[in-house]
Chain A
């Protein structure tokens, strides 16, 4: 009995502490990053102004696809960095996610518009097909194929660690 107690008392905490050490030290530093490659699903949605339809054939070349919404606080935090990327000539397509059209337009007026094109996905159908779980999320697209997917705020660090290596290795031009 006393032996069992001694062993239990030592083994339980030691194994728990060990477990957490393993979890913490191997934890992916960018848990939001995913490098699965898949094709952009077929879609046909209107643009944010509601004037034109946008479908796969309107999206060509290499670009970033950023999922955002006016109700999303982290998108606001992320926004200045997107503007900076856009000013550096990087092509960013916006996917406005489950958002009210007028709210989204007001939001862009207020914070400036870094997007080359904005898809209005009111029902979240395209986002669902892309595997979006919330906003903001960002996809790196190479000729119609997603090559990197990041959940959460993109900033300088994430850009350098998650996106830049792939852009360099695949020699993408996001202009």
Chain B
């Protein structure tokens, strides 16, 4: 009964969003119409929010007459996981995705004045997108379907791998990032439709774009971390198709944020900014399509349903196609007024846009190529790390070198590049020294690693000099840019060190035996059976000593869950600032020894920490008072 109220409210919201969409195309500029649009949108959002809240309440109170809740939640789960079970599968997560999309629109609606020229149309465009997705939800994947007269008394058993705090937070964070880009998208389209080049749409959307970018960055980072410690994958990035479709909007969004910082000032690079704002949201939609159409096999994909895929593709295709047509028609109008001077900041940012564009294009190729190949030759192939490394490493190194030279450049004017000036040559020397030291101590011969280390150190040293000169000689620096790019340097160096130094090995070891691996001495103390309420576990205890005579115990587990019979591997990780020692336990062999997999992962924490620093730079930018000066 209550679920019908929730269902009805969602339907009502869809109707109201539809009305907003219709109103917004009355181009009167009349303030009453604008007020009407704004209020109707707010009401529609509140209806949708109420509908979702009721749905959450149904999940908390174990209302298993709702088919979706019955098959994805269980009465024994803690409340926290009852809530997160809502986004553990397709229907519910789509509902959340739509709610977030509407919420960004709502916040935008509340904080922008009704008299702002582009607002009514932007809200209208957001509403049209919402109507499309709500129809998709209600027609093809309705989460409100019920099992009558009674549902199962205790619900279903949910996958233990999904019962993890990081996973409960990871999808919502990522969704907030994906759908947040609807605001720059809607405003760019509104700008194109409106056709008045005097309007500064960039200023309107900058803060929103940065916020969405922060969520996207954090969402991807959380996913990477979760796969590392819970799935037992033992790495931070796997070029899984679904990781790739999250990385594409991130790269496009990063280029977009750089581009918009130019357009805000001088209307230069407007074509880039508009094209990128459309691309970012299109790529987010493309991600939703890839994950939900079942076209790609991946750990993330939801159940396969070709009908769903076709609906989504038709709708997403219409959105993308319409916006591109609009872009092409209006292209002459948005031509930049001035030209870009060589070696100005703008010129470097356009180069950056081209490089990031190439990265997005190559990932797109990597994602689609296996599909085309399978279609043509009926054979499955996978495009993996070698392909992406071959493309990413050179482009990132080139981009880093351009970044290095861009630090001394100025807005809108050519500054003669002083290659032998103090900071430039000094940081080159420091970078060379650091790389030579690395080669000497770690004996690396891989050219890609040396190049990446050089690029990373170049950025780090250059920014350290920059920070020092701001402290000692009061030179003005842009703190957001410094923090974000310094983190990029840190990220590159951490990744290079990680791939240079990390090692792993599987060892066979019996109880009461010792093995040594690298500088570690591993002693297998004992193994015990642990009986828990919902699983049995084999828990192995290892005593490990390292070369600094630290000694610690690691206890990896193998769990077997009763109801699903699922076996999960619980890794044991010893974390230090410089390296992780990562143990997983495998099977027992016939001679009584156990297979134990040991990994030593260097600087892996710093990869995530740099990503968090980057989002922190974005956060600072949002809350800074002197936004105009940047």
Whether A and B are associated in the same complex: the answer reads: yes
Decide if A23 touches B295 in the complex (CB within 8 Å).
Answer: yes
The digit string for B316-350, where 1 denotes a CB below 8 A from any CB of A, is: 11001100110110011000000000000000000
Residue ID in chain B nearest A11 by CB atoms: B324
Decide if A24 touches B321 in the complex (CB within 8 Å).
Answer: no
Checking A2, A9, A76 against B564 with a beta-carbon cut-off of 8 angstroms, the contacting residue is A76
Which of A2, A14, A20, A23 neighbours the largest number of chain B CB atoms within 10 Å of its CB? A20
CB-CB under 8 A for A73 and B331, given A24-B310, A27-B306: no
Task: Please tell me if B555 contacts chain A, counting CB pairs below 8 Å.
Answer: no
A-B contact pairs, 9 of them (CB 8 A): A9-B275, A9-B328, A13-B324, A16-B286, A17-B317, A17-B321, A20-B295, A26-B375, A70-B565
Distance in Å: Cβ of A112 to nearest Cβ of chain B:
15
Checking B286, B331, B566 against A6 with a beta-carbon cut-off of 8 angstroms, the contacting residue is B331
Distance in Å: Cβ of A72 to nearest Cβ of chain B:
9
B567 CB contacts on chain A under 8 angstroms:
71
- Name the interface residues of B343-382: CB closer than 8 Å to any CB of A: 364, 368, 371-372, 375
Decide if A20 touches B313 in the complex (CB within 8 Å).
Answer: yes
Residue ID in chain B nearest A107 by CB atoms: B565
The size bracket of the interface on A is 20 to 34
Checking B295, B321, B375 against A13 with a beta-carbon cut-off of 8 angstroms, the contacting residue is B321
CB-CB under 8 A for A24 and B295, given A13-B320, A71-B567, A73-B565: yes
A20 CB contacts on chain B under 8 angstroms:
289, 293, 295, 313
Task: Please tell me if A157 contacts chain B, counting CB pairs below 8 Å.
Answer: no
The docked-state distance in angstroms from the alpha carbon of A170 to that of B232 is 47
Task: Please tell me if B309 contacts chain A, counting CB pairs below 8 Å.
Answer: yes
Task: Please tell me if B221 contacts chain A, counting CB pairs below 8 Å.
Answer: no
Question: With A6-B331, A16-B364, A27-B306 given, can you name 19 additional A-B contacts, CB distance below 8 Å?
Answer: A5-B331, A6-B328, A9-B324, A9-B327, A9-B328, A10-B325, A13-B321, A14-B321, A14-B324, A17-B313, A17-B320, A20-B293, A21-B313, A23-B295, A24-B293, A24-B295, A29-B306, A71-B565, A107-B565
B368 CB contacts on chain A under 8 angstroms:
16, 19
Checking B321, B364, B371, B566 against A23 with a beta-carbon cut-off of 8 angstroms, the contacting residue is B371
Residue ID in chain A nearest B566 by CB atoms: A73
Residue ID in chain A nearest B563 by CB atoms: A76
CB-CB under 8 A for A27 and B327, given A13-B321, A17-B317: no
- Name the interface residues of A1-41: CB closer than 8 Å to any CB of B: 2, 5-6, 9-10, 13-14, 16-17, 19-27, 29
The digit string for B539-582, where 1 denotes a CB below 8 A from any CB of A, is: 00000000000000000000000001111000000000000000
Checking A6, A27, A29, A76 against B295 with a beta-carbon cut-off of 8 angstroms, the contacting residue is A27
The docked-state distance in angstroms from the alpha carbon of A10 to that of B328 is 8
B275 CB contacts on chain A under 8 angstroms:
9
A29 CB contacts on chain B under 8 angstroms:
306
The docked-state distance in angstroms from the alpha carbon of A29 to that of B402 is 49
Task: Please tell me if B38 contacts chain A, counting CB pairs below 8 Å.
Answer: no
The digit string for A52-85, where 1 denotes a CB below 8 A from any CB of B, is: 0000000000000000001101001000000000
Task: Please tell me if B282 contacts chain A, counting CB pairs below 8 Å.
Answer: yes
Distance in Å: Cβ of A137 to nearest Cβ of chain B:
15
Decide if A24 touches B309 in the complex (CB within 8 Å).
Answer: yes
Distance in Å: Cβ of A107 to nearest Cβ of chain B:
7
Distance in Å: Cβ of A2 to nearest Cβ of chain B:
6
B310 CB contacts on chain A under 8 angstroms:
21, 24-25
A26 CB contacts on chain B under 8 angstroms:
375
The docked-state distance in angstroms from the alpha carbon of A35 to that of B416 is 69
Distance in Å: Cβ of B529 to nearest Cβ of chain A:
15
Distance in Å: Cβ of A31 to nearest Cβ of chain B:
8
B316 CB contacts on chain A under 8 angstroms:
17
Decide if B372 touches A19 in the complex (CB within 8 Å).
Answer: yes
Residue ID in chain B nearest A25 by CB atoms: B310
